[in-house]
Structure 1
Amino acid sequence: MMHNNGHSRIRRAHALKAALLASALVAGLTAACDSDDSSSPPATPPLQQDGGVESGTQPREWWNLGFKDELYNEITLFYLGQTWHQAADVGEVLETAARVDELDPKSWTREWRKTAERLGLLAQESERNGHPLSASHAYLRSATYYRAALHHYDGPMTTEGAHEIRELAQREVDSFGKYLTLSKSPCEAVKIPYENTTLPGYFCKSSVATGRAPTLLYMQGRDGWAEDGRFIADEAMKRGYHVLMFDGPGQGQVVRLQGLPFRPDWDKVVTPVVDYAISRAEVDPAYVGLMSLSMGGFLGPRAATQEHRLRVLIPNPGVIDWSANMENALDPALLALVDTDEAAFNAKMDELMKRNPLLNWGIPDFMWHHGVDTPAKLIKDLRRYKMTPAEVGNITAHTLVVNAQAEGRGQAQELFDAIKSKKDYLLFTAAETAQFHDQPGAEAIATHRILEWLEGSFSKAP
Structure 2
Amino acid sequence: MFEFFPGNHAWSSTVNLALMAGGSIGDMHRWLGPLRDAPAADLDAWAAAWASMAHQQELLAAAEVKAGYLATAGGRYLRASVYHACGQRQIPLGPTKSESYAAALQAFGNAVDYGNISVERIHVDSPDGMLPGYLIAPDAAEPRPVVIVYGGLDLTKELLFAVVGGTFARRGITCLVIDTPGTGELIRLRGVPTRPDYEVPTAAIIDHLETRHDVDGRHVAVLGISFGGYYAARAAAFEPRVSGCVTWAGHWDSGALWRRRWSEGADGEPASWFLPWVTGTSSIEAAFMKLDRLTLAEVWPLVKQPLLIVHGENDREIPVADAHRAFAAAGADDKRLRIFTAEEGGAEHMQTDDPRPALDLISDWLALHLPVAACPPVASLRTV
Using the size of structure 1 for normalisation, the TM-score is 0.75
CA–CA distance in 2 between the matches of 1:261 and 1:81?
26
Work out which of the residue numbers 415, 420, 433 in structure 1 matches 2:326: 415
What residue is the counterpart of 2:250 in the other structure?
A: 318
Alignment of 1:147-158 (within 5 A): 147-153=85-91, 155-156=92-93
Distance 1:279 1:96 in 2: 46
- Which of 90, 97, 103 matches 2:32? 97
- Corresponding position of 2:97: 165
Could you say if the C-alpha distance between residues 417 and 136 of structure 1 is closer, same or farther in structure 2, counting changes exceeding 3 Å? same
Cα deviation for residue 202 of structure 1 reads: 0.3
Q: Which amino acid aligns with 1:397?
A: Q
Q: Separation in 2 of the partners of 1:80 and 1:373? A: 34
Other-structure match for 2:377: none
Following superposition of structure 1 onto structure 2, how do residues 173-252 of structure 1 map, counting pairs within 5 Å?
A: 173-195=105-127, 197-207=129-139, 209-230=140-161, 231-252=163-184
CA distance in 1: counterparts of 2:142 and 2:311, whole angstroms: 34
Mark the CA change 1:256 to 1:213 in structure 2 (over 3 Å): closer, same or farther.
Answer: same
Q: 1:312 to 1:196 in 2, by over 3 A?
A: closer
- Identify if the C-alpha distance between structure 1 residues 133 and 201 changes in structure 2 by more than 3 Å, giving closer, same or farther: same
For residues 53-95 of structure 1, the C-alpha deviation after alignment (integer angstroms, 9 at most, x for no partner) is xxxxxxxxx6132432122122211212223xxxx22211232
| Cα distance in 1, alignment partners of residues 211 and 165 from structure 2 | 20
Written as runs of structure 1 = structure 2, the 5 A alignment for 1:132-147 is 132-147=70-85
Mapping for residues 348-387 of structure 1, pairs under 5 Å: 359-387=268-296
Distance 1:407 1:133, change over 3 A: same
Specify the alignment match of 2:314 in structure 1: 406
In the other structure, the counterpart of 1:263 is 195
Pairing 1:444–2:356 present? yes
> Aligned partners of 1:357, 1:109: CA distance in 2, in Å?
21
**Partner Cα distance (2:234, 2:107) in 1:** 33
2:380 aligns with none
2:342 aligns with one of 416, 430, 441: 430
The one-letter code sitting in structure 2 at the alignment partner of 1:313 is C
**1:338-357 map, 5 Å:** none
Secondary structure at the aligned position of 1:106 is classed as helix
Deviation at 1:126, TM superposition (A): 2.4
- The residue number in structure 2 matching 1:19 is none
User: Could you tell me whether the CA contact under 8 Å between 1:180 and 1:188 is conserved in 2?
Assistant: no
Identity among equivalent positions (%) equals 22
The answer (yes or no) to whether the contact 2:118–2:136 under 8 Å persists in 1 is yes
Q: In structure 2, what is the Cα distance between the partners aligned to 1:240 and 1:329?
A: 40
Who is 1:281 aligned against?
213
Local SS of the residue matching 2:166: helix
Query: Which of 1, 8, 12 is the equivalent residue of 1:73?
Result: 12
Which structure 1 residue ranges, 5 or more long, are not aligned? 1-61, 332-351
**Shift in Å, 1:251:** 0.8
In the aligned structure 1, how far is the partner of 2:252 from the partner of 2:24? Answer: 36
Retained in 1: the 8 A contact 2:84–2:103? yes
Quote the residue 1:4 is aligned against. Answer: none
CA contact (8 A) 1:261 1:368 kept: yes
Measure the CA separation in 1 of the matches of 2:115 and 2:261.
Answer: 46
Cα distance, 1:326 vs structure 2: 2.0
Question: Which whole-Å CA distance do the structure 2 matches of 1:203 and 1:329 have between them?
Answer: 35
| 8 Å CA contact retained: 1:308, 1:396 | no
1:388 aligns with 2:297: yes
Q: CA RMSD in A?
A: 2.1
Q: Tell me the secondary structure at the aligned position of residue 202 of structure 1.
A: strand
Residue segments in structure 2 that go unaligned for 5+ positions in a row: 375-384
Look up the match of 2:49: 111
SS state at 1:287 partner: strand
Inter-partner Cα distance in structure 1 for 2:20 and 2:337: 24
Distance, in Å, in 2 between the alignment partners of 1:181 and 1:252 is 20
Q: CA deviation at 1:460?
A: 4.1
Distance (whole Å) between structure 2 residues aligned to residue 329 and residue 233 of structure 1: 32
Contact 1:312-1:397 at 8 Å conserved across structures: yes
| SS of corresponding position for 2:360 | helix
Larger radius of gyration: 1
Indicate the structure whose relative CO is greater, using CA pairs within 8 Å and at least 6 residues apart.
Answer: 1
Distance across 2 between alignment mates of 1:196 and 1:394: 25
Contact 1:204/1:244 (8 A) holds in 2: yes
The one-letter code sitting in structure 2 at the alignment partner of 1:298 is Y
